[in-house]
Every structure is written in structure tokens, then in C-alpha cells.
Amino acid sequence: MPHPKFIERLQAIAGLSDDDCRQIAALPSTLRQVADGEVVLRQGEAASRCVFVVSGFLYQARIVGDRSQILAFHVPGDMPCLHTLLVSPMDADLVGLGPSIVGSVAHAQLKQLLDGSTHLTRAFWRETLIDAAISRQWIARLGAQAALPKVAHLICELAARLKIVGLVTDGCFQMPMTQRHVADACGLSIVHVNRTIQELRHRGLIAWEGNEIELLQPQELQELADFASDYLT
């Protein structure tokens, strides 16, 4: 069944009945493997299917001037282009971050599901509202927060989102983002990001080796980041 993380995500934010879960699990879907850096959907593309992340990660990005700006990271359980049900053209590229598996469901199938269930319509609507809340957080912090708390906030947010779908163990999670990805998400240079991550390590707040990030002092990291997870559910 390709939908378990998506169901787990909706269960956490809206609560689902057994029948709701069965209806989502019965949605006809197709799976595909996505390579690191592969574009799943392109900016301007008229989407006819909604994509959901089965495993691995995606991000959305636009080219602004001469550099890439990452607008969002997407973790297992996310449906990054749910808004295309009503606003079809993609407004950013949707790109693989490390090797991933994504599923897709035709708009017509999703609309049929939602037309038959007020509760599922509200659950999916809540998911889009949370996605918008994440975007507002990013916009506010991109312009107003210094580099150290900004990077700390990104790490805290990713950990919290992965915890919702059971992908954090003893404060550790896998995330194949590079310092370039962090720079493009936070509006910083790679040199600045490198210094910022080194400072977080020096303070004993995180360990970051390869694709594994460990929160050594999560409370202190959240305080530094001014992070509260209420906007994620």
C-alpha cells in the first residue's frame, strides 16, 4: 500500500476513521522512483495528478535572478501539489532530494473521493492550510531572523515534521540536504551556512554527519530558533 505515511500524516492533523483510511488506501495510484536532482513537476506545468512522498524527500524551488531559491522541503507523507486540484499550473519546480519514491493520484480520483466525504475534504483542506502556514513562517524568518536561529529553526521544523510520521529515533533523523540546499532555503551563502552549522556543533546543539542529523540539546536548539511546532498541526 503506497499511502501509509500520507494516511499517518492526515491522521495526526485531522483524525481519520477506519473508513476514511480505507477510502484513501483504495485510491488508484502509480509509483515512480526519483533520482537526486530530478524534476518531478516543472514550474508552469499544468498538473493533472497530485504527487505524494512515499519515501525520501522533495523540495520546491524557483530561479530568482542568478540563484535558486528553495521554497519548501517535503518529507514522507506530504502531498506537495495538493493545491493543483484547484490551481493547476505549478508555480515552482518540484525536485528530488536524494533518491526518493513518489506516488501520484489523478485529480479526478481525488475530487471523487472528496466530493463523497465532508470530513476528508476538511482534512485535505487543513493540510493545505498547514502548508501555507509553513510558507508564512519561512517568509517571516527569511527576512527578519539572523543566520544562526534561522538555520536552527529549519532543523527544528524538519525534525518536528518527520517526528509526526515516525521518522525520528532518539533525536536522530535522515535528511540528505547539503549546505547548498540550506543556503538556498535560508537565503545565505554556503560559507555563511558552513560557519553557522559549525557554531551549532560547537555549542553542542547538533551533530551532523553525512545524511544524519542528531538533536543533542533539542530544548536549547528550539529556544535559540524561537521554534514552536503549533503551526505544523
Closest CA to 232 of 59, 4, 14: 14
pLDDT given for residue 63 in this prediction: 93
Task: Specify the 3-state DSSP secondary structure of 40.
Answer: strand
Total-model pTM: 0.95
Q: What is the CATH number of the domain that holds 186?
A: 1.10.10.10
- If you write DSSP's letter for every residue of 136-190 in order, what string do you get? HHHHHHHHHS-HHHHHHHHHHHHHHHHHHTT--BTTEEE----HHHHHHHHT--H
Which of 140, 174, 202 terminates a domain? The answer is 140
pLDDT in tens, 47-78: 999 999 999 999 999 999 888 999 999 999 99
Q: Are residues 58 and 152 in the same domain?
A: no
Q: Are residues 53 and 134 in the same domain?
A: yes
Q: Are residues 133 and 153 in the same domain?
A: no
Q: What is the residue range of 188's domain? A: 147-232
What separation in angstroms does the CA of 72 have from each of 43, 93, 159, 165? Answer: 14, 11, 14, 18
pLDDT in tens, 131-188: 999 999 999 999 899 999 999 999 999 999 999 999 999 999 999 999 999 999 999 9
Q: Are residues 83 and 172 in the same domain?
A: no
Q: Are residues 100 and 118 in the same domain?
A: yes
Q: Are residues 120 and 19 in the same domain?
A: yes
Sign of CA dihedral 103, 106, 111, 117: negative
